[in-house]
Structure 1
Amino acid sequence: MGLEPPEKKTGRILLIACGALAREILDIKAANGLDHLDLTCLPAKLHLYPDQITEQVEIAVQRHSATYDQIYVVYADCGTGGLLEAKCRDLGVEMIPGPHCYSFFEGNDRFEKITEAGEITAFYLTDFLVKQFDAFVWRPMGLDQNPELRGMIFGNYTTLVYQSQIEDPALMDKARDCAARMGLAFEHRHTGYGDLEASLKHWSASSFG
């Protein structure tokens, strides 16, 4: 006896997302009543291995394509050099435009203008990266074992820009501490969810509106 085909999830949308965006996506869903959006996340640590992102997204899309009529990929390019965009186009799924999450949190248009104006020596942290600074920045760069490498690694940066999605004094204090540990000036910009929220609302409306 053959396997039963997967049950279709009619009227629902699947988001295949970077694990670093899970908390933000859940908050956006709750705030906007987007209960018909289902979420599955790939490991956040793929950001440390961007050459693996495209393949893992493809596997996830193929795994769920028989269940969902609408699938969206909640990644920007994220260091894939255009490969993820090309793959999503081949798979017939849409992804968030922009070079990385720092850009779409800021708003891609605004981020492009800031970059063109000369903000090229900034190191960016989001809420997630502030919370996971040691796991995603300090230890992968070997600074827990070799703190003397700090100047060599961050020598081309002048400022740590903390893009906050929520207002949390404890995260603000931790972000300032991250800047001090890196030997960088500190700047805070409250971006909220930027183009991430706009994309989720647009996908929801265009799919079933």
Structure 2
Amino acid sequence: MQGLNDNKLTETGLPLTQKSGRVLLVACGALAREIIDLKKANGWVHLDLTCLPAKYHLYPDKITEAVRDTVAKHGDAYDTIFVVYADCGTGGLLEAACKELGVEMIAGPHCYSFFEGNDRFAKQAETEITAFYLTDFLVRQFEAFIIKPMGLDRHPELRDMYFGNYEKLVYQAQTDDPALTAKARDCADFLGLAFERRLTGYGDLATALAKL
């Protein structure tokens, strides 16, 4: 996260008062690496980033209030705040809050959709009801975000109860990384699912940030 020179910073490195056309991205921690990579690749030095805990992926009821608090905390320091969350299981509450706060958010039901491209994902959704999706982040954090929360490390017999209706694991690869692909294949084997890899890149995430 990059603040402005000669400007007092908060404990997170975000500027307190000076705006100067800067944009604050309020993002899910699961997207931090991808956003930082896009910033570096495109020279988007006017974008600052603050992330909410990635574990909210498991507790979507916490997302809306956390976004409200973050916008309230930093709103006076920025000309624009953009929320890098899709609906993410909030049942429309996050979208309603963003409208009330006067800030925009990325479109889509979840990150699997906007990485694939929302239009493309919507067209194929009906034929992929039995697909379980992983992104780069979830492949890296498979144990912390899938195995342990579901108790599969303690009760492996639960696997078929949770995943018995799935047919394949779709790895949406943001990066072309053979090691991550191998790990994603291991994840599919662990869950007893067929494996498919799609190099989606950053999808609509890149498009949305480019507009800023």
Task: With the length of structure 1 as denominator, give the TM-score of the two structures.
Answer: 0.93
The secondary structure found in structure 1 opposite 2:108 is coil
Aligned to 1:142: 151
What does 1:73-92 correspond to in 2, within 5 Å? 73-92=83-102
Letter aligned with residue 94 of structure 1: E
Letter aligned with residue 52 of structure 1: K
Aligned counterpart in structure 2 of residue 178 of structure 1, from 166, 181, 187: 187
Q: Which sections of structure 2, spanning at least 5 residues, go unmatched? A: 1-15
Task: With the length of structure 2 as denominator, give the TM-score of the two structures.
Answer: 0.92
Q: 1-side partners of 2:67 and 2:25: how far apart? A: 11
Pair 1:55 & 2:55 matched? no
Percentage of identical aligned residues = 70
Q: Which sections of structure 1, spanning at least 5 residues, go unmatched? A: 1-5, 205-209
Aligned counterpart in structure 2 of residue 41 of structure 1, from 39, 42, 51: 51
Q: Greater RCO between the two (CA within 8 Å, min separation 6)? A: 1
Deviations 1:34-71 (A, max 9, x none): 11100000000001100110000000000000111210
Aligned counterpart in structure 2 of residue 101 of structure 1, from 108, 111, 118: 111
Pair 1:15 & 2:25 matched? yes
How far 1:9 moved relative to its partner? 2.7
Regions of 4+ moved over 6 Å: none
Number of residue pairs aligned between Structure 1 and Structure 2: 198
Pair 1:168 & 2:177 matched? yes
The secondary structure found in structure 2 opposite 1:174 is helix
- What RMSD in Å do the two structures reach over aligned CA positions? 1.0
Letter aligned with residue 176 of structure 1: R
Aligned to 1:191: 200
